[in-house]
Amino acid sequence: MASLNGVELDLVPLLIGGQYTSSSPSVTFPVYSLEEKRDVYLAESANADAAIKAADAAWTAFGTWKKSSAVTRRKILLRYAELLRENEEELVKVQRLETSVIEMWNSSVILGARSIATPVAAGCSVVFKASELCPKTHHLLVEIFRAAGLPGNVINVIQTRREDAVSVTEALISHPSIRKVEFIGSASVGRAIGQLGGKYLTPVLMELGGKGPAIVLADADLEDAAQKCVAGAFLHHGQLCFSTERVIVIKSIAEKFKELLKKAASTFVTGSGISDRIISSSKAKLADAESKGAKFLIGGPEMASDTALKATILTEVTSGMQIFDEEAFGPSFSLYIAEDDRQAIEMANNTQYGLNAAVHSTNIQHALDVAKEIDTAQVHINSMTAHDEPTLPVGGMKGSGWGRNNALWGLKEFTEIKLITVSMKGNNFI
């Protein structure tokens, strides 16, 4: 079994106030991975409350984390980055065991590390609700932070089963010590968290799902665009919120582009799905589309192996189908044909989501003119929709959430502007 700095996490604990502990009462739930079943301590509302109190003590007590200097935080964060690299093999091993996918899929590490590092850098303490799909991976991220010198009670970790998530999440958001909530996940869960945030007047940073369109203009490099559309849709079995869900091509080049898409798709390795539940949901959306008249350029609602769906390109998708405006979250995309640029833009914007998009053209000004009209927070020209860099602001519009992560934009999410004025005696003129 994997360990880090001598810490064994095979029965994944809770981390509260700098101490590993069991839940109270001591209850576990199983996590099934590629090679093993692991028991995980189950957090309930009482455990959530204890984690909040520990985090609050780390933040509010005089001389504690919020009083730490920028130099101190920077030193710990840089050491954290070093230790993440030094423990890369360990993280890859544990992550792969838990998520059952190819080694280069690392969203559970990247998003988890970002979600804890950003508020810590801003001087906040954290209650980190680890994913029920990869709790050991997330605990390892926190243990690395502690090894980098972070005080033990600044990050507290709990996890729970999906069926208990509602009560535990409300216990967290409703607590007056919780000043900000960050959530990355599905739009349906995001709506529920947004409602709780409104109910308790707790601000929320959310990065939700997408229905990312890739527009292929008439002057695009078609072979390059085909390769990037396929990669953007099929990468990591399509299990990215940034995945290419829709490809919109101008009619004059559509037939040639279809053949290039099939060629690019024929050699692309999609990887495996993260769980039976997610795979089954994606497959059901394909089956629903087929039953309502959709056609398949390649693939269909079938398994390529025990852990992977067939790579699929749909055509003739209409608004009555689930997949029309719901994330497929699998290795598939819908192909649409537009008469001209204006119709392509209308098709791209015809969605509840506003996360990301791509535009393909050899004329940059042409691409920019189209990109400006697309209602998404990120638009990538001549690249995949799945494009993220740590120095660029990333977030959502419309039903894809609000707020921005990364660099200074992320830090601002966890700070507030405070005005203090001083009036000297005899100089207070109103």
Tally the domains of the chain.
2
Q: What is the pLDDT of residues 213-247, one digit of tens each?
A: 999 999 999 999 999 999 999 999 999 889 999 99
Give yes or no: residues 91 and 238 share one domain.
Answer: no
Give the chain's end-to-end CA distance (angstroms, integer). Answer: 70
State the chain's mean pLDDT as an integer: 90
176 with 252, same domain?
no
Catalytic-role residue among 98, 241, 245, 326? 241
Which of the pair, 54 or 105, is modelled with greater confidence?
Answer: 54
Q: Are the C-beta atoms of residues 39 and 11 closer than 8 Å to each other? A: yes
Structure pTM?
0.88
Whether residues 169 and 245 fall in one domain:
no
Q: Band of the pLDDT at 11, cuts 50, 70, 90? A: confident
Indicate if 41 and 117 belong to the same structural domain.
yes
Could you tell me if 175 and 242 lie in one domain?
no
Q: Is residue 399 part of a domain?
A: no
pLDDT above 70 for 202: yes
Domain assignment present for 418: no
The answer to whether residue 396 sits within a structural domain is: no
Active-site pick, 207, 245, 326, 327: 207
Strands 378-381 and 19-21: unpaired
Query: Both 146 and 11 in a single domain?
Result: yes
Same domain, yes or no, for 184 and 298?
no
Check whether residue 193 and residue 246 sit in a common domain.
no
Is 229 catalytic? The answer is: no
177 near 52, Cβ under 8 Å?
yes
Structure tokens at 135: 């709790």
pLDDT digits (tens, 9 = 90+) for 323-343: 999 999 999 999 999 999 999
> Domain ends where: 179, 207, 235?
207
The verdict on 223 and 80 lying in the same domain is no
80 occurs within a structural domain: yes
Above 60 in pLDDT, residue 365? yes
Question: Domain containing 24 — which CATH number?
Answer: 3.40.605.10
- The answer to whether position 355 is within a domain reads yes
Domain endpoint, select from 181, 207, 233 = 207
- Which of 381, 398, 423 is the endpoint of a domain? 381
| CATH code, domain carrying 257 | 3.40.309.10
Range of the domain at 302: 215-381
In a domain, 425, yes or no: no
pLDDT band (50, 70, 90) for residue 388:
confident
Cβ neighbourhood burial of 322 (10 Å; 0-12, 13-18, 19+): middle
**What is the predicted pLDDT for the residue at 24?**
64
Per-residue model confidence (pLDDT) at position 42: 75
Residue 190 and residue 219 in one domain: no
For residue 419, being part of any structural domain is answered with no
In a shared domain, residues 136 and 245: no
Residue 176 counted as domain residue: yes
Is 36 catalytic? The answer is no
Mean pLDDT in residue range 253-262: 98
Strand partners, 248: 215, 336
**Are both 235 and 199 inside the same structural domain?**
no
pLDDT at 93 over 50: yes
